[in-house]
Amino acid sequence: MLGGSMCSREMIALLLALASGGGIAETPDCRRQPQREAWLQTQAERWHQRLISQTGYERPAVFTVCHLAQGNPYVDYDRDRIYLRRVNAEEDALSLAHEYLHLAFKHHPLARDERFIEHTARQLLNPDAVESAL
Ligand SMILES: [Zn+2]
């Protein structure tokens, strides 16, 4: 009815193989972008001082920046990954800041507030504007 014992054992072996080889630790679907990661790491250090008092902010312990061949940038909340393609320096900086903020607020509803995220990203990239806005 349920098949022989060989079958279920094979099934378990298959499930174990899938679980351990499912890309949890290593990352076949992420072409990492070390330079952008380094840039973002440095910025995150500075931004931390500005964000620390913000409700819902939780600094991501680790994050990864992955190459995206096409389409809009996005984040993988489960794996703390940012996917984006290369546009130009200015655009990339804004996109990285924007996507980083999604991760930094992921445990708070603000992460889904695109206006808040975009506004904060622009403020972070332009400290003078923040100063005059306060
Ligand atoms: Zn967004």
- Indicate if the pLDDT at residue 77 is higher than 50: yes
User: Does residue 25 lie within any of the structural domains?
Assistant: no
Cα(52) to centroid(ligand 1), Å: 20
Q: How far is the CA of 21 from the centre of ligand 1 (A)?
A: 31
Domain count, the chain: 1
CA of 105 to the centre of ligand 1 (A): 11
Residues, Cβ < 5 Å to ion ligand 1 = 114
Q: What is the pLDDT of residues 109-127, one digit of tens each?
A: 999 999 999 999 999 998 6
| Domain that includes residue 58, residue range | 34-133
Q: How many CB atoms neighbour CB 100 within 10 A?
A: 25
CA dihedral in degrees (109, 114, 120, 124; nearest 10)? 120
Distance 44 CA to ligand 1 centre (A): 17
Residue 127 lies in a domain: yes
Put simply, whether the predicted model's pTM sits higher than 0.85 gets the answer no
Residue 90 belongs to a domain with what CATH number?
3.30.2010
Per-residue pLDDT tens over the stretch 64-74: 999 999 999 99
DSSP run (H or E) holding 75? strand 74-76
Q: Is residue 90 part of a domain?
A: yes
- Domain membership flag for residue 86: yes
The alpha carbon of 2 and the centre of ligand 1 are apart by a number of angstroms equal to 48
Inside any domain, residue 91: yes
Helices then strands, each counted (H, E), the chain:
5, 3
Distance CA 110, CA 108 (A): 5
> Would residue 53 count as lying in a domain?
yes
